[in-house]
Structures are given as structure tokens and as C-alpha cells.
Structure 1
Amino acid sequence: MTVNDDSFTNWKIREEIAESMIPLIGKLHRERDVTVLLHSRSLVNKSVVSILKTHRFARQIAGAELSVTETMPFLQALTTLDLGPSQIDLGMLATMYKADERGLSVEEFTAEAVAGATGANKIERREPRDVVLYGFGRIGRLVARLLIEKAGSGNGLRLRAIVVRGGGAQDIVKRASLLRRDSIHGQFQGTITVDEEHGTIVANGNAIKVIYADDPTSVDYTEYGIRDAILIDNTGKWRDREGLSRHLRPGIEKVVLTAPGKGDVPNIVHGVNHDTVKPEERILSCASCTTNAIVPPLKAMDDEYGVLRGHVETVHSFTNDQNLLDNYHKSDRRGRSAALNMVITETGAASAVAKALPDLKAKISGSSIRVPVPDVSIAILNLQLARETTREEVHDYLREVSLTSPLKRQIDFITAPDAVSSDFIGSRHASIVDAGALKVDGDNAILYLWYDNEFGYSCQVVRVVQHVSGVEYPTFPATAV
């Protein structure tokens, strides 16, 4: 048999195993509200090829490809356990099992590693929490996609309505079409139908009421059967407590802003300070996409090395706030054509760091350049550290952070030497460390951090909403803090 024959036979074997994983993963998700992950990447609703590619991607991080032949026994072991709602990482299970020297069987090790999600320890499945989207632009539609995707188990979050300004003829049809097809993020994964008579978009069986309103105070959400909902404001029109309080109408329990909050509105970066949100807090902000990109790695570096000062320069994709062609704009440079120019502008991300990381004493400055790409940005984080180190040490530390730390859902890591911005469209992490671009000289470290400023940020928003809604389920095996 030739090498080519060996490779093809091996592929077919792995393809068959991945195919047999799909119903097991789906059943765990639908019946027990268990999300199966591989190094923080969900395997729910993934195709055979997607599952195999996710396993192969582990090579970029851990240095060796993870095979479905290694993870399948752990998945099979999970199906025999009395599991409660949780997230379970097959990659972590396989990695920890290799390092374990007690001679346990896969079944014994798995039962021990996920004991917190079984038997008397498991949490009860919660009733779905209603969610309302106020505004249906770039972030609003991506958050909608995520909420619909995560509604597969019938628990967790349930998108009940979107609120928009009244449009013209076929308004609801056009909005449904924008949800169905996206020039950057591709086709919606599922089916979408429109019930114009009842003003409803039905996406993967989720009935979403379209409410037309020009002012938040004109809506009574209880009229639509909505109770104790989380309202996500995607407009950015109101950013202080007084303005956002306008959303606290009948049927709305909490308000989450997808822009930096002003005044005493807490800016929350999931993974860093989400556990500081008080139960009684009704208004909070998810800060900006850039704040979410830089704060987790900044925290990781400060925890290990100490940060004395820093500067962040963001090379940011253009946004709807800019003009397509030269025209009047309230900001000086943003009036110039976004598609034709690099545009120097300001960023509030550096000043927002203090809200998310109050214990960080370092002064962080920042600036930004908008460039002619529609999505994915890069933040260049230049840090003066409290002690000298080496490039190899920082490289290995950040790789380990991306794999095993409490920040593994926020920080990704890539070693591909030819990576470019479009490779990160659809990334669910807040930022991705580019290992090849990392620079360290004594007490100076320069990190290059890619981030999908649309989708990655939307994932962070949904994580915050899950947390404040009480439907953020624990992850196993537990990560050592």
C-alpha cells in the first residue's frame, strides 16, 4: 500500500468516527443541555469536516494534532453519565488524561473529571430567559444569529423580539433577508421564513416579533408575552444610566449596551470582570470590541509579569459610522471615504481599561487607524513589564493561557506564519495572539492581537448576557485559577 493509500484510508476512518460523533453531541445538547467543546470551540451542529478541522487546529496551539480516535472514547463515556447542564471540553479531557499517571480507564477518568456536573452536583435545567434586541444592525444581527444557534436545546436564552424604527414597504422582509445573507459572515445556518401578517420572523423555529418604535418609552413588552427579559441595546444612542433607563419598561428586567458605557455604567469584559456584576445591577455595558480584545491579554500579562505602562495601536476595519465616499461628518477625518483611505481616529479602549481592570496601575494610552477592510482588526499592544523575560517564555505562557486558563474562551493563539486578517472572520474569541509577530526585548513586549470586531465581540456580548441571565453553565474539566 502506498503512502497516499495510507493517508486516504486514515482519512476515511477519521471521517467515519467524526460522523458517528454528531448524533452523540446533538443528543447531549438537546436532551441534557450539554455543550461539547474542543479546546473551547463548540462541536454542536458542526459537520463532519468541521469536526475534523477543529481537531486539526489543535496542532496550531498545542503543537500536535488531536485525533477523533483520541476524543471519541471520552465522548462515549459522557453519554453514560447522569449529566446536568454544562460545557465539557473533550480536548482538555484528552490532554489531562495523557498527563495522568494513575492508570485509570477513560470511563473512570471522565466520571471523575466531570463529577461537578453529575448526580447530586448537577444543576437543574433552567427555563429560557427572554431576550429583546433594540436595533438590528451589524452587531444586532450577529447577536441574533448566536442566540438562535444557542436555542437548540430549548433552554438558555430565547430571542423574543427585535425593536426597530418603522420602515417602508416590505420592511420585515428586507430585515429578514439581511439576517439570512451577510456579505462578510455568509449564509445563516438554518431556515428563515417571514409571517408578514403577524409581524414575525421565524428562524430555526424561533418566532421573533418585530416591534416598530421610535422611542423606548413607547413600548410595553408584556403586550407581546415578554417577561423579565434582557434587552440588548445595539444602537449606542444612549450610553449613560439615565438614557439607558428608558429601556426599563414593563417586561424588561435588565439592559445590556453593546458600546462603552458612560458615567457609572459598569463596563464588563467577559472572562475578566463579569463576576463583579451585582445581581441587583439592571444596566451594564459590554464595552467596545477593542476593549474586549486588549483587556484579557493585558490581564494575563499583568498577572505573570506585571505591567508598568503600555500603548495600544489598533488597525481597525471601517464601520458604518464612516462615510463610503467623502461627505460631511461631525468628526473631521471620518467624513473621508472609508473604502479608499487609511483614517487616523481616536479610540476609547485605552481609557476603558481602567473600568474593566481597576487593579491595573499602569497607564495605558491608545490610538487607532481605520483601514479599507470590512471586518477583522489588529491591536498592537506595546508593554513595559515589571521584569525582564524572553520571547520563548512569553510565547509559551500565552499559548498555555489560551489552552488551560480561565481566559481560554477570550484568548486564542495561532502559529501559522502566513496568517492574514481574513483568516479570523468568524473567530469566537475576543482576540487571537499572533505568535509569529510576538516581540520581546528584556522588559519590553509587543503583542499583535487579531480580533473579529463584529463576530468575536458579539460572542462576548452573548457570554455576558448568559452570565447575568443565570444560564451560563459551568465548564468541565474545571480550569485551575
Structure 2
Amino acid sequence: MTGIALNGLGRIGRLVVRMLGAARPGLLCAVNDPAPLDQILHLLRHDSIHGISPRPIEGFTEDGRDFLLFGDRRVPLFHVSNPAEIPFPNAARLVVEASGRFTRRADAAQHLKGPVSHVVISAPSPDADFTVIAPVNGAELDLDRHRVISNASCTAHATAPMLRILDDAFGIEHTGMSTVHVVTNDQRLLDLPHKDRRRARAAFLSIIPTTSSAFGALHRAMPALPPDFDGVALRVPTLSVNLVDLTATLRRDADPAAVQTAYEAAAAGRWKGLVGLADPHAVSCDITGRTESVLMDLELTRMLGSRFVKVFGWHDNETGYAARLGDLVMDLAGRL
């Protein structure tokens, strides 16, 4: 089967390596990250949000080369900064670009050399060959034409099913979204210059309004969305789990019970495993570690009249997104 290589051991990269190394160790054929082996091992084993790795992850150096060890599976670990210079092995046909640095097509395409035929970017891209949210537009992914693929964003993967289920049931005339979003590494711990002056402020002292890359990704993956679909991100001082606040004007009459029934049916049917239902009275920490794309909090559903609706969905911005990224690359690995 096609081998998967990964570049970049940030928040998502480490979760994907944990997942692939445990579930499908034969698929993971190489990892690249500039950090030294001892630091990489420590961060793979210990995570402040998601806990200690449930399976042992070891590492060693042999003949001047570093390796990660998952059970008896040796995975080469490189430390190269330039994607064009990473010596991925011949087994690597697919590269997961998870560094967060190479989101433009030209940059990510530097991996397309030797045996590597496709790259999946673990973030929105302004010009990838295709932006995929698999249950929404995965059937349109053409591996002959689409070689640099964006897996959109965590918020896009949460919002897309919320939109599609609502549209299928009632039709959407107008819609907008806000995401209550945890802090990320693209913010300042203490006040420090940043191109976004709001993100320049201390991340854990304020609610920080800013932009979200999810809107561009959603428009690319769902071109039938109303062209004015937009919104904001509100960065809040927590570390795990986002909340999508989706507002829509419907084309057909509805009531809260009908809206809730539509989401319940979707969660039990076509969208099972991707859309879940939050427990009553849920708060964000209850969602940490969940792998669904979104968990609908149906208690919070609100309507004004018969066509103006507001629905809310939780998602673990790391484990949910890493699960969708893992689903995608394992599917592609079976097709290449």
C-alpha cells in the first residue's frame, strides 16, 4: 500500500502521527520536523490537552540517522527545513504537509518529487488544486487532476455538515456564522507586535475578535453557499474545543422541533460518526477528545418566527480535525 510521509509536528501533526503510528503503523513511512529527536519524543508522548500517548512511542539514533519506533515499526525521522530537500523514501507517495508554513500551492508542491505524487495540506489553502470536506464534496476529488489538496480547517469541517443538513431539510436563503475559538499559537502570550493588532494582545486576558480562514475554505468546498456567507472568530482564553454559532434564513417554514429532528436524523443516518449530539447542559471541556466533526447542542436551538434559525455545534478543534485528516489520507493511500 502507498506510504504516507508527514512534514511538521505541530498540534495536528503530532495527533496524526499518534493515530497512524498506532492504528496503521505500516502506512507511516517517514516524518520530518526540524526539532531534535528528544524534544519530538517528549511532545509526542505528553500532551497538555490530550494526555499521555496511550501507546509507547520510542526513538533512537543509528548510524547518524534518527528513527521513531512504534512497536517494531521503524519510521525515519528527518530534520530538514526546506521541503524540496527532504529525502523521503521510495515508499512515500503521499505527503501530509502539517507544518503550517507551506499552505500555498507552490510551496506545498515542493514535496512533489521522486515517488511523491500527492500532497495534503492540513490547513486552508488559497490556491490548492482542490479543497476537500470529504462528506460534502469528496466525490469530486480527482486524483489525476488534483495533486495538491487542502483539507480545509477544523471550523470548516464542523460548519459544513451544519449547513448541509439545514439546507437539505429547509433550504437556506441567507446565512452567517461566528466561531467561538480557542487560542492558537498564532497569538501572543503577552502583548507583542503582530500583523493582526488584535492577535497582538495577550491571548489569555481577553476575548479577541479576529478573522477565520474557514469562510474561504467553505466557499471553495461548497460553491453553492450564498455569496455573502461570512462572519468572525472570537478567540477566547481556553485551550480546547470551539463552538460554531450558525444563523440562517430558511426557504421553508420550520420550528425548533423540526430543526432538531433534522439534525437527530442526520446524526443517526448519513452523517453518523461525523455529526454527533452533545449531552444536555454540555460545556466545552465535555467535548475534549471527541473525534466527530461537530456535536450539535440542540438545547440551544433558537428561532425568530418560522424562518430565522440559530443553531450551535461544538467540536474539538484538534482531535476532530485530525480524525478527518486521517480519514482522508488513509482513503487516498488506498487509491494511489
Equivalent residue number for residue 17 of structure 2: 144
**Alpha-carbon contact 1:258-1:287 (below 8 Å) kept:** yes
Q: Which has the larger radius of gyration?
A: 1
Please say if residues 30 and 92 of structure 2, whose CA atoms lie closer than 8 Å, have aligned partners that are also in contact.
no
Match of 1:243 in 2: 107
1:199 to 66, 91, 97: 66
SS of the residue corresponding to residue 209 of structure 1 reads strand
Query: How far 1:228 sits from its partner (Å)?
Result: 4.3
Contact 1:327 1:336 in 2 (8 A): yes
**Which of 436, 441, 454 in structure 1 is aligned with 2:299?**
436
Is this contact kept in 1: 2:158–2:293, CA < 8 A? yes
Q: What is the root-mean-square deviation of aligned Cα atoms in Å?
A: 1.7
Distance in 1 of aligned mates of 2:232 and 2:290: 24
Corresponding residue to 2:202 among 337, 344, 351: 337
Contact 1:323/1:335, CA 8 A, preserved across alignment: yes
Whether contact under 8 Å (1:402, 1:412) holds in the other structure is yes
Partners of 2:229 and 2:22 in 1: how far apart?
Answer: 37
Q: What secondary structure sits across from 1:335 in the alignment?
A: coil
Within 5 Å, give how 1:207-356 maps onto structure 2: 207-222=74-89, 226-280=90-144, 281-356=146-221
- The answer to whether the 8 Å contact 1:164/1:210 transfers is yes
Provide the rounded CA distance (Å) in 1 between the counterparts of 2:251 and 2:180.
27
Q: Bigger relative contact order, structure 1 or 2, given CA contacts below 8 A and separation 6+?
A: 2
**TM-score normalised by length of structure 1:** 0.66
Structure 1: how far apart are the matches of 2:295 and 2:104?
31
Consecutive unaligned residues in structure 2, runs of 5 or more = none
Partners of 1:231 and 1:372 lie apart in 2 by: 33
Superposed, which structure 2 residues align to 1:154-165 within 5 Å? 158-165=27-34
Q: Distance in 2 between matches of 1:360 and 1:262?
A: 18
Instruction: Give deviations 1:197-256, integer Å, cap 9, x for gaps.
Output: 34111123332211011211112323xxx3242101112222222222111122312100
Secondary structure of the residue that 1:294 maps to in structure 2? helix
Taking the aligned partners of 2:225 and 2:159, their CA distance within structure 1 comes to: 13
CA distance in 2, matches of 1:148, 1:308: 44
Give the number of equivalent residue pairs. 332
User: Aligned match of 2:52 in 174, 178, 187?
Assistant: 187
Within-5 A mapping of 1:413-432: 413-414=277-278, 416-432=279-295
How far, CA to CA, are the matches of 1:178 and 1:352 in structure 2?
A: 29
C-alpha distance in structure 1 between counterparts of 2:106 and 2:197, whole Å: 29
Indicate conservation of the 8 Å contact 2:246/2:311, yes or no: yes
Q: What is the deviation of 1:380?
A: 0.1
- 2:88 counterpart letter in structure 1: Y
* In 2: Cα distance, 1:148 partner to 1:365 partner: 38
The percent identity for this pair of structures is: 29
2:128·2:150 contact (CA, 8 Å) conserved in 1?
A: no
Change (3 A) 1:471 1:425: farther
User: Are the counterparts in 2 of residues 438 and 446 from structure 1 also a CA contact under 8 Å?
Assistant: yes
Q: Deviations over 1:311-340 (max 9, x none)?
A: 101110000111111112122111111122
Deviations 1:326-385, CA, capped at 9 Å, x for gaps: 112122111111122211101122232221112334631110110000110101000111
Question: Which structure's residues are more often helix, by fraction?
Answer: 1
Query: TM-score normalised to the size of structure 2?
Result: 0.94
Structure 1 segments (4+ residues) deviating >6 Å: none
Gaps of 5+ in 1: 1-126, 473-481
SS of the equivalent of 2:24 reads helix
Alignment partners' CA distance in 2, 1:417 and 1:348: 30
What is the CA-CA distance between 1:395 and the residue it aligns to?
A: 0.7
**1:160 corresponds to which letter in structure 2?**
C
Summarize the alignment of residues 39-118 of structure 1 with structure 2, pairs less than 5 Å apart.
none
1:411 is the counterpart of 2:275: yes
Secondary structure class of the residue paired with 2:253: strand
CA distance in 1, matches of 2:308, 2:245: 13
Per-residue CA distance 1:67-108 (angstroms, 9 max, x = gap) = xxxxxxxxxxxxxxxxxxxxxxxxxxxxxxxxxxxxxxxxxx
Distance of aligned partners of 1:264 and 1:130 in 2 relative to their CA distance in 1, 3 Å threshold: closer
Aligned amino acid, residue 178 of structure 1? L
